[in-house]
Structure 1
Amino acid sequence: MDTDGTHETRPPHTGRIPRPLAPPPPGLPPRPSHAPTAGPTLADWLRFPRASDGPGVWTYGHVPRAAEEPQETPTRQLVSGALISLLAGVLLWSLLWNGYLGGFWLWPLYMFTPDSWAGTLPAVVASYVWYAVVATILLTGFGRLGRWPELGGRLLRGGASKTHPAVPAAPEAGSPEDPARWPQLRGAGLGEVADRLEGEAGGGRMNDVDYARIRRAWDSVRADPSRLRAFADAVRDKGAGACAHPSGARDLPVRAARHDLLARQVLLGTVDDGARNPYARRGTSLALDPEVLGTSLLAVGPSGSGKTGRLVRPVVESLALQALAGQAAVVAVGAAGAQLGPDAAYDVVVRVGDPASVYDLDLYGGATDPDEAAGLLAEAFVGDVPGIEVRRAATALAQLLGPFRAAHGRFPAVPELRELLDRVPAAVDGLRRALEDGGQQAMLRELDARQRQYGAHGDPGPALADRVALLDRPAFATFFNVGGFGTTGQGRPFSLRALEHPIRVRVDLPERAHADASRMLARLLLAQFSAAAAARTDRSLFAFLALDDASHTLTPQTVRGVQRLRSANAGVLLTLRTLDDVPEALRIPLLGAVGCRMAFSGVTTWDGKRFAEAWGTEWVETRDVTHRTVFADQPLTRAMHAFRKLVTGKAVTTDAVTVRQVERERWSASDLAHAVPPGHAVLSLTSVRGERAAPLLVRLAGTA
């Protein structure tokens, strides 16, 4: 039960819980330590209210706003109205006091005071009381007429008044709904277990990852009640360390972004408080979570715009924390040296081309079927080559992989595959003899078919051989181990079939020295991820692949694979410097395949045009003001107009206002290219449930 059904992927760490490098900033849950740290406690973080009114909203402390900006009277108009009503009130009081309106307003005084009071002190007191009543009535009436309370409140607040809806109520400490008391466990009769966890949180020995992980384990118990006893025993024995991740880690070595694991969100930035954004989203915090990442995200921006530090790193870090909580599996792919987090934040780090790499990369993605393996390799090898049909390339590879596996019980290593594609006589004859000795007649026919097709018109064999040659280099001699052929640093191949488990993986590609091979491997990883995510039997884990640079990695088949990830509880993050790095025929399908689109500051107008088309148009209200000069007929009026023009320097005009509804692009190509400030991006979101957020101008927070 400690691993919640997962398996070991690397030697466990020690039981030491990493201490925070600095006190947590306000609003963040505490990190575990032996003594409570300053700042909010875990219980306070759990009780803090969360609300959402659309995809991408940072729910922690969010206060929903009105859908439209309220119509407010200008302050100048309020002041003038208040002065006019004050003057009118003073004038009416003067008229009443001096008797210009008669004494009718004194009749209640005469009616309720006896004649014997005349000239006495009670009569004087009663008269002044009545004067005060009348003055109060006048002040109230003219005050409401002149909107004095609204003006006073606006002046006291120092600006325009704004509507602030009530903050969602937080559960009271110690109440039955208090999440820090684990009401779900108490409701199931596990009061002792709940007390243990409550004590761990109160003593500062539990952090947000522990809470999310144990709650995830409890969800698995609810799905399978047979795990109840093991769950209770694990919590009694280890407290907050129960149901630990296979690595033994309970947190990341360092966090570069702000996270809310209760909502599974990472804070990305703040929606710009400008007219380009909907009023309801202005000034609100924007976050990403599996609900929107499950529709996949495409980000385009030039080098230096912040794609890695402001987007990829925070998202990967969030998914790594969720993996420690048993909620996700994440694979981050980038060039060697990309700032995607320290090695200690991952369970598996594959450094392709580095002999010191502890892990190797399984070229066939854990596939055992020759046709499946051939399809994945064909997509990676020639998926970007114009004029070569991937289906024919897959058939050609299957005609070699199938016989080789039948003869040797494994797929060929890179040098062996290259020799077979190049028709090296010794390799082909050796394979033929092995098949004949084993009585593999069907596979002999496959091999003969490959031999007949070699050199024919449209044969993909030579192109496949050229692409395999990119991997048959001295730098990769110790990589792509297959069934014991060759050696790797530690002989530990990694396969994307491991997405069944909450694993954290980083793959470093030798982009600088072997650019073509790196792009080919990136295509291979994308194809393998799509196949592995869709083939999972247990899809409760959210599987995610982040490609820090997806240039020249997309093919028609991988774009179709991205579309199918939403139903498999998986998603991808693809970053590009420009859409020109994608074949022209795939640019529109790619924008349609992803649910989230992001344009960074500095995109070209050509890229902006594609985003503008994808985001479509909206109906907006426009006001056209026409100024017309007034020509007077009367001499006196003409003289007054001439004097006014002499003083102001402007002719007397009248304004004609025309209000109409027009259809305009949400963001034009020119606006995307020139109106997005540095450090900002325009982002549209779609959730897996179909909820949409219009393109928003966001000021990105970046990493700490």
Structure 2
Amino acid sequence: MAQDGSHHHGERTTTRPPTPLPHQRPGAAADGSFDLPAWACAPRPEAEPGVYRLGYRRLDPERAEAAKVATWPLLLRAGLNAVVAWLAFVYGTQLVLHLIVITVWVEHPTETLVTVVGLSVNLAVAAAVITVFGRMGRWPEVWRRYVSPLLSRTVTHEVRAEENAPAVAEAVRRQDPWDGLRQGGAAVAAARLDREAVGDVDYVRIRRAWESAQADPVFVPAFSEQVAARGASAFAHPSETRELPGRAEQHDLLLGQVRLGTAQDVPKNPLSHRAAGFALDPALLGTSVLAVGPAGTGKTTRLARPVAEALCLQALSGTACAVVVGADDADLGPDAWYDVVIAPGDPSSVYGLDLYGAAGDPDEAAARLAEALLPDELTARAENARTALQQVVGPFHAAYGRYPGVRELRSLLGGDPDALAALVKVLGTAGRLALHERDLEYRERQRDRADDPGALLADRLALLDRPAFEGAFATDGTGRPAFAMRVLDHPLRVRVKLPERSHPEAARMLSRLVVGQFVQAAGARVDRSLFAGLVVDDASAALDATAVRGLQRMRGANAGAVLLLRTLVDLPEALRAPLFGAVGCRMAFPGIAPWDGRLFSEAWGTHLVQETAVTHTPDTSGGVIRRAGRVGRKALSGTTAQTESVTTRDVERLRWSPSDLAHALPAGHAVVSLTAVSGEQVPPLLVDLRG
């Protein structure tokens, strides 16, 4: 096998049309402009999950196997079979006629009878010979490869499919992408769009608005009026952005696919995926993706960034919302890609983060915040910590009508007498002291105990109560506008920049908090028409038991996550197996540790393969002459004559062994298994992610 995973079998035929180069936009014209008709009307046949459907052509299994035979062996075999077939035809007809004469022939046959019998015998023998020797000599493959193209050019003056591709593309280009509008009563809108430069984002956005308008004919005039007035800018994203600056990846927004690479033409890959483009879409992202590989193997560049870009484009087209989490220096796209950029620790950041953003009530808000604050080694105290936080968050919300800020919460948990006295006073004034008095008294009794979880939480909150985070988590309106994760029913693009270099432990807490809030908010949405996508560049600190349980619930909520890990060892051992079970798509990058590869290998299981065993034994057959010949051969050459025995059997083998995953993957590749939301599965694929 070659380094890139391809096989070399001499000359091979092309069974699939060429795909665009990595730097080409789908639908790009020769002058670099976007050709909307060619893109919108291009064929997108049904295909298995993971196949990039734009321009895809399904392979014929028989033709694919035949195409692996090199030219000269194919022609030599066809020629030899043709010679043998001619001899079989000549002597076969004579034999059949002779048998007819000696068995059923009449004494005085007429000329007509002789002619009919002769032609019938010739045709029958010819059909049998062609059937037998044509199959053995692969004559249909020779005809398809060489004879048919030659006849097409010399007899009918037709060109080959590859040469005819520009004409086919021109025929597609002449189709009308706005035909649905014209037929549905929005001809004026279609005429305006004909005069506009419409991109793929505009087309998908307007088409989505048109589908919504068709649900009730009353809205069709309003749709036409909007398009006639604004053209391609109609129904634009609230930011009025219609394209991403520096867009580089291949995306098919009509299907929501992002092309990440090419499935290799190797026996381990299913035939339907070999040499086809590899892509992810919401049906696959909805089961969540777990990617594991060391730093520098391309997880961010070749997976996280393209998926983030695709989700941002889908948000601009009104079909998705995106939350992208990573270090402030991670290559997840420029800030111009996003509507909201949250950068705690950066004084120039415009937005802050609502620490309680996904909660529906104070107890839920306190529980999620407590889980985010505790490190992995203190999860055993999570229940006591949740209770302690609920005992102060609930009364504070009842007293002030808002949640406490970091400094206020730290004072209450630390048992500051002045803070508690002020809270009791406000509750008494509001007439709610009786409802929360028991919680406050319990907190007061816990204050001086050595195992007080409040003191632990106060110490953890001190990591967020730093001058660098001033105004980033304010709840009283004095700080930056706080982003709340509950707005996932809007097509927003959110980037969370974590201060991993300056405040690593605070960054770990914030990543857990953001992921937990996303899982909560995605499952609690009432309007699930938008796909909610989460991309986490380093999820080692972002996952806990609650988040892992929530991943599976997101499958039915039209939401999903892409989680990147350097190694599974970064996770607590109790989370590794549940995480593998919670995600539907798994990716192994080159250089993963063997113990990480073991989990992938066990998850992917075994399959049946044909194993051939060759056994050599000394040859003892024959009489005296053959034995004497073997003795002489051994004396002259020093080798013993042997017989060869070949045994073929079906055995179970791992699809990918831990050793293969750890040491045999080429650079720039990954092994990917897929599961769609519908339950359809694709076995592990070897994918070239370099374009």
Give the 3 Å change call, closer, same or farther, for CA 155–535 of structure 1 in structure 2: closer
Partners of 2:136 and 2:608 in 1: CA distance = 37
Secondary structure in 2 matching 1:484 = coil
Deviation of the 1:284 alpha carbon: 1.3
Tell me the residue number matched to 2:115. none
- The one-letter amino acid of 2:457's match is L
Deviation of the 1:479 alpha carbon: 1.3
Counterparts of 1:169-208 in structure 2 under 5 Å? Answer: 180-197=176-193, 199-200=194-195, 205-208=197-200
Q: Deviations over 1:347-394 (max 9, x none)?
A: 111111000101111111154621121022012112624353433322
Give the 3 Å change call, closer, same or farther, for CA 291–384 of structure 1 in structure 2: same
Deviation of the 1:193 alpha carbon: 2.4
Tell me the residue number matched to 1:658. 647
Tell me the residue number matched to 2:26. 28
What is the TM-score when the length of structure 1 is the normalising length?
0.81
Partners of 1:527 and 1:668 in 2: CA distance = 34
1:580 aligned residue (549, 569, 572): 569
CA contact (8 A) 1:271 1:281 kept: yes
Tell me the residue number matched to 2:212. 220
CA contact (8 A) 1:382 1:388 kept: no
- The one-letter amino acid of 1:86's match is V
Structure 1 range deviating more: 454-463 or 276-285 = 454-463
Tell me the residue number matched to 2:76. 79
Deviation of the 1:460 alpha carbon: 2.1
- The one-letter amino acid of 2:44's match is R
Tell me the residue number matched to 1:440. 432
CA contact (8 A) 1:268 1:314 kept: yes
Tell me the residue number matched to 1:46. 40
2:664 matched to 1:675? yes
CA contact (8 A) 2:49 2:676 kept: yes
Q: Deviations over 1:314-364 (max 9, x none)?
A: 000001000000000001011011111111111111111000101111111
Deviation of the 1:79 alpha carbon: 2.4
2:241 aligned residue (233, 245, 249): 249
Give the 3 Å change call, closer, same or farther, for CA 235–636 of structure 1 in structure 2: same
Partners of 2:327 and 2:261 in 1: CA distance = 25
Give the 3 Å change call, closer, same or farther, for CA 501–539 of structure 1 in structure 2: same
Partners of 2:391 and 2:175 in 1: CA distance = 59
Partners of 1:535 and 1:171 in 2: CA distance = 48
Secondary structure in 1 matching 2:325 = strand
Partners of 2:175 and 2:447 in 1: CA distance = 67
Give the 3 Å change call, closer, same or farther, for CA 635–276 of structure 1 in structure 2: same
Give the 3 Å change call, closer, same or farther, for CA 91–647 of structure 1 in structure 2: farther
2:473 matched to 1:468? no
Secondary structure in 2 matching 1:388 = helix
Q: Deviations over 1:8-57 (max 9, x none)?
A: xxxxxxxxxxxxxxx995561349xxxx9447721011221112321111
Tell me the residue number matched to 1:414. 406
- The one-letter amino acid of 1:258's match is Q
Secondary structure in 1 matching 2:437 = helix
Structure 1 range deviating more: 223-232 or 503-512 = 223-232
- The one-letter amino acid of 2:80's match is L
Q: How many residues align?
A: 630
Tell me the residue number matched to 2:318. 326
Deviation of the 1:88 alpha carbon: 8.0
Secondary structure in 1 matching 2:651 = strand
Secondary structure in 1 matching 2:462 = helix
Give the 3 Å change call, closer, same or farther, for CA 151–236 of structure 1 in structure 2: closer
Secondary structure in 1 matching 2:342 = strand
Give the 3 Å change call, closer, same or farther, for CA 59–155 of structure 1 in structure 2: closer
Give the 3 Å change call, closer, same or farther, for CA 144–594 of structure 1 in structure 2: closer
Structure 1 range deviating more: 293-302 or 545-554 = 545-554
Partners of 1:686 and 1:91 in 2: CA distance = 54
Tell me the residue number matched to 1:528. 517
Counterparts of 1:367-446 in structure 2 under 5 Å? Answer: 367=359, 369-382=361-374, 384-386=376-378, 388-441=380-433, 442-446=435-439
Tell me the residue number matched to 2:59. 65
Give the 3 Å change call, closer, same or farther, for CA 225–492 of structure 1 in structure 2: farther
CA contact (8 A) 2:134 2:140 kept: no
What is the TM-score when the length of structure 2 is the normalising length?
0.83
2:508 aligned residue (501, 506, 519): 519
Deviation of the 1:551 alpha carbon: 1.1
Give the 3 Å change call, closer, same or farther, for CA 210–646 of structure 1 in structure 2: farther
- The one-letter amino acid of 1:56's match is G
Give the 3 Å change call, closer, same or farther, for CA 655–195 of structure 1 in structure 2: farther
Give the 3 Å change call, closer, same or farther, for CA 550–520 of structure 1 in structure 2: same
- The one-letter amino acid of 1:555's match is D
Structure 1 range deviating more: 656-665 or 561-570 = 656-665
- The one-letter amino acid of 2:76's match is V
Structure 1 range deviating more: 664-673 or 186-195 = 186-195
- The one-letter amino acid of 1:542's match is F
2:470 matched to 1:493? no
Partners of 1:693 and 1:472 in 2: CA distance = 48
Counterparts of 1:147-158 in structure 2 under 5 Å? Answer: 147=137, 149=139, 152=142, 156=146
CA contact (8 A) 2:534 2:560 kept: yes
Tell me the residue number matched to 1:624. 613
- The one-letter amino acid of 1:61's match is G
Structure 1 range deviating more: 441-450 or 311-320 = 441-450
2:685 matched to 1:696? yes
Give the 3 Å change call, closer, same or farther, for CA 622–405 of structure 1 in structure 2: same
Secondary structure in 2 matching 1:386 = helix
Partners of 1:87 and 1:594 in 2: CA distance = 58
Structure 1's unaligned 5+ residue stretches are 1-22, 105-110, 113-129, 158-163
Tell me the residue number matched to 1:570. 559
2:542 matched to 1:553? yes
Partners of 1:619 and 1:147 in 2: CA distance = 30
Structure 1 range deviating more: 305-314 or 427-436 = 427-436
CA contact (8 A) 1:47 1:178 kept: no
- The one-letter amino acid of 1:437's match is T
Give the 3 Å change call, closer, same or farther, for CA 212–459 of structure 1 in structure 2: same
Deviation of the 1:698 alpha carbon: 0.7
2:257 matched to 1:265? yes
Partners of 2:557 and 2:513 in 1: CA distance = 19
1:346 aligned residue (338, 348, 354): 338
Give the 3 Å change call, closer, same or farther, for CA 349–146 of structure 1 in structure 2: closer
CA contact (8 A) 1:30 1:207 kept: no
2:479 matched to 1:483? no
- The one-letter amino acid of 1:438's match is A
Deviation of the 1:552 alpha carbon: 2.2
Secondary structure in 2 matching 1:664 = strand
CA contact (8 A) 1:51 1:62 kept: yes
Q: Deviations over 1:106-147 (max 9, x none)?
A: xxxxx99xxxxxxxxxxxxxxxxx9xx99xx89x96985983
Structure 1 range deviating more: 575-584 or 639-648 = 639-648
